[in-house]
Amino acid sequence: MAAPSLAPPRLLPSGDTAITVEFCRIIDELANHRVLALDRALAEEPIEGVTETVPTYRSLLVHYDPVRIGFEELAERLSALARLPVAPATRARRWRIPVAYGGEHGIDLEDVAKTLNMTPDDIVARHAGGDYRVAMIGFTPGWSYLSGLDSSLRIPRLQSPRLLTPSGMISIGGLQAGIQCLGGPSGWRLLGRTAVRTYQLHRDPVFLLEPGDAITFYAVDGKQFAEQERAAAHGEWVAQLVTP
């Protein structure tokens, strides 16, 4: 996977203290690999004056101190880094995340099954059988956007988003899957719920998942979910870290 054969990124000023390095304008797996590779490169060899980086699906937002480094110099250095061959990531952390599917925990499972001409068991099997990767964290704390959704499960989001959905929702929408940590509005299709807190303010670590992490799901029943919910409330990860 070599960056020189790909379109060069656009470098866009974001106010006077940040640059957006944009690799494409759509959700794209290859672009996301380039985003995360640039983020890794800046972490491994920091540029003086860069204060923070924020990876997204298709771009990397780079915050900097304009007193320590100017826009032109930083843009030139970022452009050079972005054109380097995409180095393979070190062995990704892999997590197994429990999900209580359907019923009160996944209120859209039945409708999704009808829309896709499958049974609810088919939907669960295909969703839980998937191999996902955290592409970005955003929207609300801990909201994990996942690539790798089975193409047979792709379905448009709701035309009218719900104003409030519970915490821990496991959902799908378009070509994405997601893990919603906190309760909030959502137009995604709700398949189930997990007790895993991907964000927990007074826990170490505060954010459990990171971009680039690998994710698999497994089904649990209502009793197991309730037990895991109690454990998670006391700061336990609940998710199983398969590889460090």
Q: What CATH number belongs to 3-82?
A: 3.30.1360.40
Confidence of residue 243 (pLDDT cuts 50, 70, 90): confident
- The answer to pTM > 0.85 is yes
Specify the CATH superfamily of domain 94-243: Cyclophilin-like (2.40.100.10)
Average pLDDT for the chain:
93
C-beta separation of 168 from 110 below 8 A: no
C-beta separation of 221 from 100 below 8 A: yes
Q: How far apart are CA 236 and CA 22, in angstroms?
A: 37
| pLDDT for the residue numbered 18 | 98
For residue 196, pLDDT beyond 80: yes
Q: Among 114, 176, 136, which residue's Cα sits nearest to residue 35?
A: 136
User: pLDDT, tens digit, for every residue of 1-52?
Assistant: 343 456 789 999 999 999 999 999 888 888 999 999 999 999 999 999 999 9
User: pLDDT, tens digit, for every residue of 114-131?
Assistant: 999 999 999 999 999 999
Domain residue spans in the chain? 3-82, 94-243
Query: Once rounded to an integer, what is the mean pLDDT over residues 183-190?
Result: 96
First vs last Cα of the chain: how many Å apart? 25
User: pLDDT, tens digit, for every residue of 128-147?
Assistant: 999 999 999 999 999 999 99
